[in-house]
């Protein structure tokens, strides 16, 4: 009788322990660098965190640290890898030279929208092109912003007008673009671009329209050239130990909200944000205009030698940069139905 009671007690304790393990809650820290008013910070990442909270029945809570509160833009990758943050969102352009394949995907004249670019970027990743660049972390998804253009305080109509203008650049590829156009590239973190324009440190910035509203840069520039040329790439990554410590069902929740479909959805969100960004600068009274066809060709001709040099420098590192660039361009045209 006693042994039966002991056996029942042990069985109950084991069952209770399993239930407690099943119900264990996890708080994950997510670091990014954007100010809270930006669409990615205000809607996309919080919406992603809320979906995971709901689908995990409240067992995963994601605490978001915006605006570099936990890690600065150039610290996020190492911070996630080292466990300072469990999840991080940032851009390869903040650490030049570390992500050579991602940099090739940021070269001009590949993409015109973020949804297409994000799909092509994820296809490249799934084919293994970036394996060496993301060792030591779990990639949840990669994506891009909408194609950026040039936003200036003075009006720019010709290549000659670009000469010497101090322009903020976000990535090595964008820096090359500005150099080829004759501008003076200036490295300024995105959250500091507003102040740099206000103080006269910058004459303009390379950004999509999204940033004109999300970072309020439209208040500081007057003109926007309708010349979408480059995209910036981003990553959402997770600490491997954190992921492995989750029960399998919670790992599945994370993966259900990662990968290709998530990347495409985030790219689409950036494209949609462009619409409100354009409306925002128009309400401010800023002017959006296009270069003449002949002038635009001059700009393209000026940039192409820089693209070729960038590709050759990357190939010297043992990376098939030209194949990657041409394959990405062909795939983007295919998705566009061209």
Residues 261 and 308 both lie in one domain: no
State which residues form the domain around 174.
148-231+281-335
Residues 222 and 239 both lie in one domain: no
Could you give the number of structural domains in the chain? 2
Going by their DSSP bridges, the two strands 148-152 and 223-230 should be labelled as: antiparallel
Whether the CA torsion 158, 164, 166, 169 is positive or negative: it is positive
Q: What one-character DSSP code corresponds to residue 164?
A: T
Residues 184 and 39 both lie in one domain: no
Residue whose C-alpha is closest to residue 122's, from 147, 103, 140: 140
CA angle 86, 89, 95 (to 5 degrees): 110
What is the CATH number for 242?
A: 3.40.190.170
Return the pLDDT at 281: 98
Residue 16 belongs to some domain of the structure: no
Q: What is the CA radius of gyration of the chain?
A: 23
Residues 220 and 155 both lie in one domain: yes
Residues 201 and 289 both lie in one domain: yes
Residue 116 belongs to some domain of the structure: yes
Residue 13 belongs to some domain of the structure: no
Residues 189 and 297 both lie in one domain: yes
In total, the chain counts a number of residues equal to 338
Residue 15 belongs to some domain of the structure: no
- Residue 242 dihedral angles phi and psi, to the nearest 5°: -60, -45
Per-residue pLDDT of the chain (338 residues; tens, 9 = 90+): 444 444 444 444 455 444 444 568 999 999 999 999 999 999 999 999 999 999 999 999 999 999 999 999 999 999 999 999 999 999 999 999 999 999 999 999 999 999 999 999 999 999 999 999 999 999 999 999 999 999 999 999 999 999 999 999 999 999 999 999 999 999 999 999 999 999 999 999 999 999 999 999 999 999 999 999 999 999 999 999 999 999 999 999 999 999 999 999 999 999 999 999 999 999 999 999 999 999 999 999 999 999 999 999 999 999 999 999 999 999 999 999 98
End residue of a domain, out of 273, 302, 325:
273
Residue 307 belongs to some domain of the structure: yes
Residue 4 belongs to some domain of the structure: no
Residues 211 and 316 both lie in one domain: yes
H/E stretch holding 28 reads: strand 26-31
Burial track 105-119 (b if 16+ CB lie within 10 A, e otherwise): bbbbbbbebbbbbbb
Give the separation between CA 319 and CA 97, rounded to whole angstroms.
13
Q: Are 110 and 328 in contact (CB under 8 A)?
A: yes
Which of helix, strand or coil describes residue 260? helix
Residue 162 belongs to some domain of the structure: yes
pTM for the complete prediction?
0.91
Residues 116 and 47 both lie in one domain: yes
Residues 307 and 224 both lie in one domain: yes
Residues 64 and 118 both lie in one domain: yes
Give the separation between CA 76 and CA 64, rounded to whole angstroms.
13
Residues 222 and 165 both lie in one domain: yes
Residue 10 belongs to some domain of the structure: no
Residues 124 and 258 both lie in one domain: yes
């Amino acid at each position: 009788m006693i042994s039966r009671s002991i056996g029942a007690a042990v069985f109950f304790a084991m069952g209770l322990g399993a239930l407690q393990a099943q119900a264990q809650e996890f708080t994950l820290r997510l670091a990014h660098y954007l100010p809270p008013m930006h669409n990615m910070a205000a809607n996309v990442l919080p919406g992603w965190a809320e979906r995971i909270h709901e689908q995990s029945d409240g067992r995963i809570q994601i605490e978001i640290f915006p605006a570099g509160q936990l890690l600065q833009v150039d610290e996020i990758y190492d911070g996630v890898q080292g466990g300072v943050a469990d999840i991080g969102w940032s851009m390869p352009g903040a650490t030049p030279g570390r992500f050579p394949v991602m940099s090739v995907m940021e070269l001009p004249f590949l993409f015109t929208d973020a949804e297409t670019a994000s799909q092509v970027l994820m296809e490249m990743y799934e084919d293994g092109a970036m394996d060496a660049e993301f060792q030591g972390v779990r990639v949840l998804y990669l994506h891009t912003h909408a194609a950026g253009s040039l936003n200036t305080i003075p009006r720019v109509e010709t290549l000659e007008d670009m000469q010497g203008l101090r322009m903020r650049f976000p990535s090595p590829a964008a820096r090359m673009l500005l150099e080829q156009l004759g501008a003076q590239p200036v490295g300024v973190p995105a959250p500091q671009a507003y102040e740099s324009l206000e103080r006269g440190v910058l004459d303009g910035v390379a950004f999509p329209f999204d940033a004109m509203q999300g970072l309020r840069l439209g208040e500081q520039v007057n003109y926007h050239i309708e010349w979408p040329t480059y995209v910036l790439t981003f990553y959402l990554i997770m600490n491997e130990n954190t992921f492995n410590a989750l029960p399998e069902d919670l790992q599945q929740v994370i993966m259900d909200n990662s990968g290709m479909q998530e990347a495409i959805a985030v790219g689409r969100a950036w494209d949609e944000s462009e619409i409100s960004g354009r409306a925002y600068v128009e309400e401010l009274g800023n002017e959006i205009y296009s270069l003449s066809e002949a002038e635009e060709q001059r700009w393209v001709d000026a940039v192409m030698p820089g693209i070729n040099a960038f590709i050759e420098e990357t190939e010297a590192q043992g990376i098939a940069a030209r194949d990657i660039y041409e394959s990405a361009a062909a795939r983007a045209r295919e998705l566009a139905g061209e």
